[in-house]
Structure 1
Amino acid sequence: MIKAYRAADVRAAEAPLLAAGEPLMERASGALALATIREVSASGRPVYGCRVFVLAGGGDNGGDALYAAARLAARGMSVKAFVPGRAHEGGLAAALRAGVRLAELDEARRADVWIDGLVGIGARGPLREPLASHVRALSGMRSGQRVVAVDVPSGIGADDGTVPGPVLDCDLTVTMGAPKPGLYLEPARRHAGRVEVADIGLSLGEPALVSLQEEDARGMWPVPGPDSHKYTRGVLGVMAGSRRYPGAGFLCADAALAAGPGMVRYAGPRDLADRVAARHPECVLGEGRVDAWVIGPGVDMDDERAASEAARRLQLAAAESLPVVLDAGAIALAATAECDERVVLTPHAGELANLLTSLGEAVSRREIEAVPARAARLAAAATGATVLLKGPVDVACTADGPLYAQSGPAWRATAGAGDVLAGLLGAVLAQGIAPLPAAALAAFVHGRACPRRPVRAGDIAAAVAPTLADLTL
């Protein structure tokens, strides 16, 4: 499990160690130097004589970069440093003693590796001038150089993943003490490259962001035991599909059945129910016991009867304290219904923009894509629900507590993939997993099930069962 921490929490963890004289910068710069050497070796270049260009701001990031520069020079690298303003005094002195030469920005074009230590986690908003112009110039002159960031790429929102101005794309980020949320959130994660954590001895508490990994999913996924039967394994009710969007009903049922509940009860339109049952004889039709609901995939909410039935089922589920997935057009029900965290909304950015606008928070799809984590949190606070915002990185959250961030192949951006995710999530809820971790777990499996090639939503649904077999065997 990846656990990421806000800048303020990292600084609070550093404070007592610094007061006690712990050499945090020495540890950080040592880890940075070693990571840079590994990066050079992996690129096929010889370490000795490799040309390194260090971008050193005046804060601790600049100090880490300059102390690392001294270490790299001692290993036989040819190191130059660009210091655009005041320098970290101790770091600069160490670098100069080791033979590092100060240079103008234009000399970066002749280097093999750049180390970005301009600003760190304390920065807020876009890079100020002249740093913004320097980064634009570097991006324009870059021609094959490897770029290593110190802690975070300069200019990203370390806490929220925003990219408010120019940022230098990095191949590797060496993050100090603990990961930062912005390294795993859109859109900033696109600039971070690979992320390595340098352990400098921090003791931290609750993370701000969590990202499930394979071992976490393996431990969380419900596996039946010798005393299990279809009702103990959970019954999922599915209201999905319509004459206009019949495929959504099929895809949602496909994924739900593949995810292992004891039963899937299909409660979609009558004219579609027989077709679903013919495709899936395991599906049970009509009313009966249900442990969780999926409402909305492919439901035509412009049809007054369908919209009324969706609202009725949501109300009944609330009265029985059942978890519910609201997807597609049914997400709009959260604007007027009383929701709690047992209701999981699964919007994409456009659907979330519509919901927030209906709640009085006028926002565009583009604005949500610029700050998805913040938008998901806002929606959770406004509705009381759990939100799973779909995107290149799926973000799950409630009104407070940690965010979950789960990525998957970009090939998932295809029609029907959301219907698959809704069915998968509903099945997890029916099997008794709490809504927030269920949302993260479903997003993880959805991403893992997506082939790394051009894909149809049906291919993702078909891969759910084999993916779970790999996790649980």
Structure 2
Amino acid sequence: MREAHSVEQVRAAEAALMAVLPEGTLMQRAAAGLAVTCAGLLGRVYGSRVVLLVGSGDNGGDALYAGARLARRGARVDALLLSPQRAHAGGLAALRSAGGWSLPADAPGFPAAAQRLVAAADLVMDGIVGIGGRGGLRAPAAELAQAVGQAGAVVVAVDLPSGVDADTGAVPAVVEGLPSALSADVTVTFGTHKPGLLVDPGAAYAGVVELVDIGLEPPAPVLRAAQHADIARLLPRPARETDKYARGVLGLAAGSERYPGAAVLATGAALHGGAGALRYVGPRAVGDAVLAAHPEVMVGAGRVQAYAVGPGIDTGEEARERLAAVLADEVPVLVDADGLTLLAESGPKALRNTPGALLTPHAGEAVRLLAGLGEESTRAGVEADRIGYARRLAAGYAATVLLKGSTTVIADPRGEVWVNPTGTPYLATAGSGDVLTGLSGALLAAGLSPTEAAVCGAYLHGLAGHLAADEGAPCSASDVLRALPGAWHEVCGA
């Protein structure tokens, strides 16, 4: 499992360690790991050309010390000092002693000379801003970031890509056509992951993330990202003498005469979700379509261990009655799509008798749910701070919230946050959310908590998306549905 810690937590853990270690030990550990990664990316260090983008403080120091190690192995290393008066003195001395070069930003002709060096580089190391930075890149760093983007060098970020918020992954808007953050091929992060490396848009700037152990012992993480083994431990497995009812029964209230396909897709996914049986509750015509596609489904009301409600139910009076009936059953419930729109009208009080709820909005639906809490927001605002808004919704509705998007963020009412690492842009297709609803709802009925069902459902759904889009071919929600057994097998066979 990947764990991420906030800037405050990292700073405290660093301070505790520096109090008992010789001065400079942590920086040397970080620089050593950084240099090893860069050497591996270069392949042949001797004769290679490396450019360091060096800001003020320790982040720039890490880059300078790593550059010195590469210079001692025969690389041509040039450090572009963006804050010459505040460059790390020890790191700069080490680089020069190893045969490296430096060019201060206040030197005559700096912009042109810096861009020539970047254009000729095999590797560029981004040591401009560390985890304490706030706001986007400013001149001359923004111009250099643009030059780096146009060059062919491998880009390695030191701890975090400059311009990315370490705690949220937020990236400021582009100003005057210049990049506000520097995009990396590889990010070498120290001690622990930072949330901004795992959540878009920051995750998209980070590239491949390599973790270097420098001995930190931080407290409980603020964010987690599951891996195969974590999911395999949570997934339900039937015991030798288990019957279908003991495995859990999911009630599914999905689809309408206008949107029958939502019910068919959600039903198909639910049958791969680990529950023992499925009851479809809805219009007869839709039930007939569900039975035609999935004859193992029971149609009609009955006892269930959990409900999934919302996909394609529409938002008229009949849909309101369907949602009210589900919430009155006092079993765990997953609410999605149209169900979320209706829930937002009533606000959190509609869930007061529900023993556990999982809400699965996309950003637009999150805006509606926030309005149900009396909070104004925008889709862009939600997408820029996925962690913060997911937490607010989870606290406000006393429910687990699975906020869908390029990075799916899951927050529970206690403030714990998970991100899903398996997503793919190919899941942005009609009906994909219905598949996620059926799958996660079945996991809920099988006995997983709302948070466990969300984490496992999102993980398997994302993995199925990758399998369905094998070799980069576009896929449909039905393709994702058919790939679910393969995703389940891949996780449990790992």
Query: What TM-score do you get using the length of structure 1 for normalisation?
Result: 0.94
1:131-146 alignment, distance < 5 Å: 131-139=141-149, 142-146=150-154
* Rounded Cα–Cα distance in structure 2 between residues aligned with 1:208 and 1:281: 44
Aligned to 1:50: 48
Aligned to 1:316: 329
Look up the SS of the partner of 1:380 in the other structure: helix
Which of 457-466 and 168-177 deviates more?
Answer: 457-466
* Rounded Cα–Cα distance in structure 1 between residues aligned with 2:491 and 2:370: 37
Are 2:481 and 1:461 aligned?
yes
1:145-184 alignment, distance < 5 Å: 145-165=153-173, 166-184=180-198
Aligned to 1:448: 463
Q: Contact between 1:172 and 1:193, CA under 8 Å: does it hold in 2?
A: yes
* Rounded Cα–Cα distance in structure 1 between residues aligned with 2:47 and 2:436: 51
Aligned to 1:307: 320
Look up the SS of the partner of 1:393 in the other structure: coil
Give the aligned residue type for 2:382: I
Identical residues among aligned pairs (%): 46
Look up the SS of the partner of 2:419 in the other structure: strand
Matched length: 462
Which whole-Å deviations, capped at 9, do the CAs of 1:231-290 have from their partners, x for residues lacking one?
110000000000110000000000001222110000021221122122212111112110
Aligned to 1:24: 26
Q: Contact between 2:118 and 2:147, CA under 8 Å: does it hold in 1?
A: no
Q: What's the RMSD between the two structures over aligned residues?
A: 1.5
* Rounded Cα–Cα distance in structure 2 between residues aligned with 1:17 and 1:251: 53
Aligned to 1:419: 434
**Any stretches of 5+ residues in structure 1 without a counterpart?**
none
* Rounded Cα–Cα distance in structure 1 between residues aligned with 2:249 and 2:291: 16
Are 2:140 and 1:120 aligned?
no
Look up the SS of the partner of 1:258 in the other structure: coil
Aligned to 1:269: 283
Q: Contact between 1:356 and 1:363, CA under 8 Å: does it hold in 2?
A: yes
Look up the SS of the partner of 1:238 in the other structure: strand
Look up the SS of the partner of 1:195 in the other structure: strand
Query: What TM-score do you get using the length of structure 2 for normalisation?
Result: 0.90
Give the aligned residue type for 2:484: V
Q: Contact between 2:163 and 2:172, CA under 8 Å: does it hold in 1?
A: yes
Structure 1 runs, 4 residues or longer, greater than 4 Å off = none
Among 310, 323, 327, the alignment partner of 2:336 is: 327
Aligned to 1:6: 6
Q: Contact between 2:189 and 2:209, CA under 8 Å: does it hold in 1?
A: yes
* Rounded Cα–Cα distance in structure 2 between residues aligned with 1:470 and 1:118: 40
Give the aligned residue type for 1:277: L
Aligned to 1:430: 445
Aligned to 1:73: 71
* Rounded Cα–Cα distance in structure 2 between residues aligned with 1:111 and 1:380: 47
Which of 192-201 and 90-99 deviates more?
Answer: 90-99
Which of 97-106 and 55-64 deviates more?
Answer: 97-106
Look up the SS of the partner of 2:358 in the other structure: strand
Q: Contact between 2:170 and 2:201, CA under 8 Å: does it hold in 1?
A: yes
**Any stretches of 5+ residues in structure 2 without a counterpart?**
104-109, 174-179
Q: Contact between 1:311 and 1:333, CA under 8 Å: does it hold in 2?
A: no
Give the aligned residue type for 2:220: E
Change (3 A) 1:469 1:136: closer
* Rounded Cα–Cα distance in structure 1 between residues aligned with 2:203 and 2:16: 30
* Rounded Cα–Cα distance in structure 2 between residues aligned with 1:50 and 1:341: 61
Change (3 A) 1:341 1:95: farther
Give the aligned residue type for 2:89: E
Q: Contact between 1:169 and 1:191, CA under 8 Å: does it hold in 2?
A: yes
Q: Contact between 2:169 and 2:203, CA under 8 Å: does it hold in 1?
A: yes
* Rounded Cα–Cα distance in structure 1 between residues aligned with 2:138 and 2:324: 50
Aligned to 2:57: 59
Deviation at 1:314, TM superposition (A): 1.2
Q: Contact between 2:351 and 2:357, CA under 8 Å: does it hold in 1?
A: no
* Rounded Cα–Cα distance in structure 2 between residues aligned with 1:244 and 1:255: 20
Which whole-Å deviations, capped at 9, do the CAs of 1:311-366 have from their partners, x for residues lacking one?
2211323xxxx211101011134332135781111111111122223432222212
Look up the SS of the partner of 2:241 in the other structure: coil
Are 2:390 and 1:376 aligned?
yes
Among 395, 404, 407, the alignment partner of 2:418 is: 404
Aligned to 1:199: 213
Which of 23-32 and 391-400 deviates more?
Answer: 391-400
* Rounded Cα–Cα distance in structure 2 between residues aligned with 1:136 and 1:380: 39
Aligned to 1:248: 262
